[in-house]
Amino acid sequence: MNPTSRPDEGPAGTQRPARRAVLRAVFTAAVLAGTGGALAPVLLRGQDPGDPGQDRDAVGPERFSELYRGRTIRGTAAAVVPAGAQPHNGESVAAPAVDVSIDGRTLHVMRRADGSYLSTVNHYESFPTLLETARAAVDELGTAQLSAVSPHTI
């Protein structure tokens, strides 16, 4: 290196990029690649027509009846359309109708906005299906019984 040349000059006075600029470009490329890799599954998920999570908001007929840990659990979920309902702007007017029972006693179940369910027994935990909600309620109840009277009667 010539004593009169600057450290960022290459041979014959050609300008080479400063180390800081190269490191900044490499860091930016790494951040963009990492962000793209992390967001790709989220962004591409809605494009797969065979994706089961895509129809999560649609209430399909879910029916089950089984003996779980010595308790009989039964449940149904279906879309109910009120009489005389008119869809507005292509929106669905179907409301989910949910009926779950443990040993013949009604388990109050609510549907959350994300399509999952929660019950009065597991009020702070949600489950993707009614069957999982009923099983979790049985696990939580243990040997206790549900109340024979609904707490929300008119």
Instruction: Annotate 37-99 with three-state secondary structure.
Output: HHHHHHHHHCCCCCCHHHHCCCCCCEEEEEEECCEEEEEEEEEECCCCCCCCCCCCCCEEEEE
Q: The whole model's pTM is what?
A: 0.52
CB burial of residue 101 (10 Å; 0-12, 13-18, 19+): middle
Looking at residue 55, its pLDDT comes to: 46
pLDDT of 4 reads 57
Give the amino acid at 87.
Answer: P
> What confidence score (pLDDT) does residue 62 get?
79
pLDDT at residue number 137 = 92
The segments of the chain whose pLDDT lies below 50 read 48, 50-59
Which among 140, 143, 153, 63 is positioned nearest to 103, based on CA atoms? 143
